[in-house]
Amino acid sequence: MRFPLLHDEFVGRGWSFPLDFTVNGTVATASGPRKLEQAMALVLNTYPGERPFRPKFGSRLRDFTFEGASVEVFAAVESEVRSALDLWEPRVTVEDVTVRADLDQPSLLLIDITYRIKGENDERNLVHPFYTIPDEGDY
């Protein structure tokens, strides 16, 4: 049995990211799995050093922007995503990370993150898009 009040206290509630507003003009908020997925995307999209007061926060995912799509790159991206989320998002347990190229857009990598909210048995997925810049020879 899940207790929503305890769940919201554990996961938290806060401003949505990216910042948004409701139809009433108030700041939109997020909670539960939506809040966690926004937090995970924030970790993956922030490069270490961007936050002056938390200089180590984030991931080095952008280091792979010019690397193309190969098995070695997929493995390195998987490792970076897993280690960044393990370090910076303590409310989830990352079960699996799989990287694959989008068949229709060769410069798009789809990062499939399977995770569980700690204290729950419900397995969830987040697909995080990551765009690369292909080699000039790929055209």
CB count within 10 Å of CB 48 equals 14
Sheet holding 92-101, edge to edge: 92-101, 108-117, 123-131
* Domain ranges within the chain, ordered by starting residue: 4-134
Asked if pLDDT for residue 2 goes beyond 90, the answer is: no
With respect to CATH, is domain 4-134 assigned 3.10.450.40?
A: yes
Asked whether 114 and 125 are in contact (CB, 8 A), the reply is yes
User: 96-115, pLDDT tens digit by residue?
Assistant: 999 999 989 878 999 999 99
Amino acid at 58: G
pTM for the structure as a whole = 0.81
Per-residue pLDDT at 3: 45
Q: What is the mean pLDDT of residues 51-63?
A: 96
24: its two tokens: 């009433």
Q: Which of 14-18, 49-53, 95-99, 130-134 shows the lowest mean pLDDT across its residues? A: 14-18
Residue with tokens 């970076």: 80
63 beta partners:
none
- Sign of the C-alpha dihedral computed for residues 8, 9, 10 and 12 taken in this order: positive
Percent of the chain residues past pLDDT 70, beyond the cut: 88
Residue with tokens 């990216």: 18
